């Protein structure tokens, strides 16, 4: 049977018969997007406040972005890293400028970027003392990816328990609890890794005084500070990277998701000091990372961020989103609090939010959870007050039912 004659239900049944079941997917087959809206194969329209889990910062069908990718397709898609290519040269320089870091390595995803960041930190420590038993301090409820190394520092034991010994030995502390950091750090600690705003762990922002204290500790002990900015970076909090709000610079940082706005691309960056004393030729590599097509996407994204004033738009519009969400918290006992920064917000609820999200989906609004009892709100960064009002008009009745 051709795809054109299949119903959405039939497509889902085929997918469930063919794909490895590692995702509990919404029962929707998406077909295309326009602006901040998505459409399924049956033509139903959805307001997207998930943005592909923080990926589609520019929304859908951005003409400039799409034309840049089409132009690159007509040139060359891949060269391998045995050669330089123009898009990668330009993208690396521009990422240095917006991140304030000194060296860039392109990967294919956020998890791969975390893997590289961990390897750099461990190699840095090895070059200091020749030991190969270093530890990393990570945070409880953190999420850094599901590849083996990234899983080692993901602060949810449920994700790790089936896979035995992890390749990276980690000790876990608590967000915004400096005493727990001090308890976790040992003579073997080579790095501390954290999200500046925890995503899957419940939309929990790091406090300025906590970041300052961790930075001071790292400086005193020559421990590398790694910021995972895969979800909270690329303008989502109103700054290109969330740490820039406080000026507390990491030694290594990761980026992905909105870095490519749909094309799979990630990167980890480091200071010159780390670069001079960690990874060298042969220590790390990737076949696809930094290829011309992915880097053309990065350049187009950065062009549009500048042309559309994305970070300023987030700073200007996010307070309206916060205000509307705060009104829901005040009105409904089911909602306990709002927390987050910029266009990375969470509604903490008294019980499971699965039903609320499903009801919103039925009425044309796409949301995502962060744990069982938190509604995570990650709209495209081009969202306006009008679309925020539309989101509230759908979410509110769903919350009323949950009361």
Q: Which is nearest to 99 in space by CA: 265, 10, 227, 275? A: 227
153 and 201 inside one domain: yes
Distance in angstroms (rounded) separating the CA atoms of residues 171 and 68:
44
pLDDT for residue 2 is more than 60:
no
318 and 286 inside one domain: no
User: pTM of the predicted model, to two decimals?
Assistant: 0.96
Task: Give the model's pLDDT for residue 329.
Answer: 97
Q: What are phi and psi of 86, to 5 degrees?
A: -60, -45
275 and 331 inside one domain: no
Q: Which is nearest to 302 in space by CA: 48, 51, 54, 64? A: 64
Question: What are the Cα distances from residue 397, in Å, to 36, 371, 392, 403?
Answer: 21, 22, 9, 10
Q: Which residue has the tokens 């266009």?
A: 343
Dihedral sign from CA coordinates of 278, 281, 284, 289: positive
pLDDT digits 0-9 by tens, 189-245: 999 999 999 999 999 999 999 999 999 999 999 999 999 999 999 999 999 999 999
CATH number at 150 reads 3.40.640.10
pLDDT digits 0-9 by tens, 147-179: 888 999 998 888 888 887 888 889 999 999 999
**Are 338 and 346 spatial neighbours (Cβ–Cβ below 8 Å)?**
yes
Task: Give the model's pLDDT for residue 222.
Answer: 96
pLDDT digits 0-9 by tens, 357-369: 999 999 999 999 9
Q: What are phi and psi of 248, to 5 degrees?
A: -100, 95
* Strands 374-377, 368-369: pairing kind: antiparallel
Domain total in the chain: 2
Residue 167 lies in a domain: yes
Task: Give the model's pLDDT for residue 289.
Answer: 96
| Band (1; pLDDT cuts 50, 70, 90) | low
- Please work out, in degrees rounded to the nearest 5, the angle formed at the alpha carbon of residue 254 by the alpha carbons of 249 and 259: 115
Task: Give the model's pLDDT for residue 3.
Answer: 61
195 and 87 inside one domain: yes
302 and 342 inside one domain: no
Identify the domain boundary among 308, 323, 338. 308
269 and 346 inside one domain: no
Residue 67 lies in a domain: no
Q: For the residues 90-118, what does the mean pLDDT come to?
A: 97
324 and 380 inside one domain: yes
Identify the domain boundary among 308, 327, 348. 308
Q: What is the DSSP letter of 223?
A: P
38 and 138 inside one domain: no
331 and 389 inside one domain: yes
Domain that holds residue 368: 3-61+311-402
Question: What are the Cα distances from residue 102, in Å, to 88, 109, 157, 301, 329?
Answer: 15, 20, 34, 20, 43
pLDDT digits 0-9 by tens, 292-303: 999 999 999 999
Burial track 232-244 (b if 16+ CB lie within 10 A, e otherwise): bbbbbbbbbbbbb
Distance in angstroms (rounded) separating the CA atoms of residues 212 and 164:
34
Identify the domain boundary among 278, 308, 338. 308
276 and 325 inside one domain: no
CATH number at 361 reads 3.90.1150.10
pLDDT digits 0-9 by tens, 315-351: 999 999 999 999 999 999 999 999 999 999 999 999 9
**Are 348 and 322 spatial neighbours (Cβ–Cβ below 8 Å)?**
no
**Mean of the per-residue pLDDT values of the chain:** 96
Residue 366 lies in a domain: yes
290 and 390 inside one domain: no
289 and 219 inside one domain: yes
Q: For the residues 48-76, what does the mean pLDDT come to?
A: 97
């Amino acid at each position: 049977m051709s795809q054109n004659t299949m119903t959405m239900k039939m497509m889902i049944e085929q997918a469930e018969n063919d794909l490895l079941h590692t995702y509990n997917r919404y029962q929707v087959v998406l077909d295309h997007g326009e602006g901040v809206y998505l459409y399924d194969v049956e033509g139903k329209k959805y307001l997207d406040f998930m943005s592909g889990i923080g990926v589609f910062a520019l929304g859908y069908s951005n003409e400039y972005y799409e034309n840049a990718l089409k132009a690159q397709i007509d040139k060359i898609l891949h060269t391998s890293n045995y050669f330089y290519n123009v898009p990668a040269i330009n993208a690396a320089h521009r990422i240095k400028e917006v991140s304030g870091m000194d060296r860039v390595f392109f990967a294919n995803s956020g998890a791969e970027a975390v893997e590289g960041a961990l390897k750099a930190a461990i190699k840095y420590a090895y070059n200091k003392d020749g030991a190969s038993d270093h530890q990393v301090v990570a945070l409880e409820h953190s999420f850094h990816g599901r590849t083996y190394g990234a899983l080692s520092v993901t602060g949810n034991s449920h994700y790790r328990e089936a896979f035995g010994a992890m390749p990276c030995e980690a000790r876990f502390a608590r967000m915004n609890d400096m005493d727990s950091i001090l308890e976790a750090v040992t003579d073997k600690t080579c790095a501390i890794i954290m999200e500046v705003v925890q995503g899957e762990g419940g939309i929990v922002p790091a406090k300025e005084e906590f970041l300052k204290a961790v930075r001071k500790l790292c400086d005193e002990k020559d421990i590398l500070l790694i910021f995972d900015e895969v979800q909270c970076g690329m303008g989502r909090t109103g700054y290109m990277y969330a740490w820039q709000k406080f000026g507390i610079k990491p030694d290594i940082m990761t980026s992905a998701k909105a870095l490519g706005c749909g094309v799979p691309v990630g990167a980890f960056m480091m200071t010159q000091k780390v670069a001079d004393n960690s990874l060298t030729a042969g220590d790390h590599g990737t076949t696809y990372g930094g290829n011309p097509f992915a880097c053309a996407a990065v350049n187009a994204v950065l062009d549009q961020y500048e042309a559309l004033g994305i970070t300023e738009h987030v700073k200007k519009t996010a307070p309206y989103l916060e205000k509307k969400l705060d009104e829901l918290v005040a009105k409904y006992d089911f909602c306990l609090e709002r927390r987050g920064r910029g266009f990375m917000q969470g509604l903490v609820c008294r019980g499971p939010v699965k039903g609320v999200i499903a009801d919103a989906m039925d009425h044309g609004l796409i949301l995502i959870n962060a744990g069982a009892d938190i509604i995570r709100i990650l709209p495209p960064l081009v969202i306006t007050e009008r679309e925020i009002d539309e989101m509230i008009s759908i979410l509110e009745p769903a919350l009323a039912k949950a009361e």
